[in-house]
Amino acid sequence: MSRSAIIAALAFAFLAGSPLSFGQSRDRRLDDALLDIRLLKQVVDQQSRRIAELEKTVKELRAAAAPAAEKPAEGPIERARPAKPAAWQIPFAWTRIKNGMSRTDVEDILGPPTSVDSVLDYQTLNYKGDAPGRGTISGSVRLVDDRVAQVNAPDF
């Protein structure tokens, strides 16, 4: 290829990519898009720096907290939590007990009884204990043929 052909090809390539090729002016939308891209790149760079700083801070805080977590506690720090009442100590649970329910259904709702009295043709599931703020309370469920026949809810 001759030198003049190379120069002509380069000139054509330059003019084809030039905004002023063939007398046309550059599209304003393209300029706006390029500006937006530059601004977005700046924002991404700023956020990347901020994320790196935050990750460094988190790492430092974790490192500072790790020795504190490994140290044994000095003296009693845990506060006594009030005991969670047993299911049978919740008044709403007793309202769910209905005649005809099985013993399994009753125990699913109230929990296991504190004692059971068995007589020839019936059983009594007794629930008795201390309720926080109420003193000692008791209730019972009488079963005939493994079905609820009578409910005596505690006096809440």
Q: Which amino acid is at 22?
A: F
d(C-alpha 38, C-alpha 42), whole Å = 6
107 has a pLDDT exceeding 90: yes
Which tens digits make up the pLDDT trace of 74-95? 555 556 666 678 899 989 999 9
Q: What is the CA radius of gyration of the chain?
A: 41
The structure's pTM equals 0.47
CA angle 74, 80, 81 (to 5 degrees): 135
53 has a pLDDT exceeding 70: yes
In eight-state DSSP terms, residue 100 is: T
86 or 133, which is more confident: 86
98 has a pLDDT exceeding 90: yes
Return the pLDDT at 78.
Answer: 57
Average pLDDT, the chain: 81
Using pLDDT thresholds of 50, 70 and 90, give the confidence band for residue 19. low
Per-residue pLDDT averaged across 123-135, rounded? 88
Return the pLDDT at 82.
Answer: 65
136 has a pLDDT exceeding 60: yes
Return the pLDDT at 99.
Answer: 95
Return the pLDDT at 1.
Answer: 61
Identify whether the C-beta of residue 147 lies closer than 8 Å to the C-beta of residue 106: no
CA 61 to chain centre: 23
Nearest CA-CA partner of 88 in 56, 58, 115: 115
Identify whether the C-beta of residue 97 lies closer than 8 Å to the C-beta of residue 151: yes
Using pLDDT thresholds of 50, 70 and 90, give the confidence band for residue 55. confident
125 or 74, which is more confident: 125
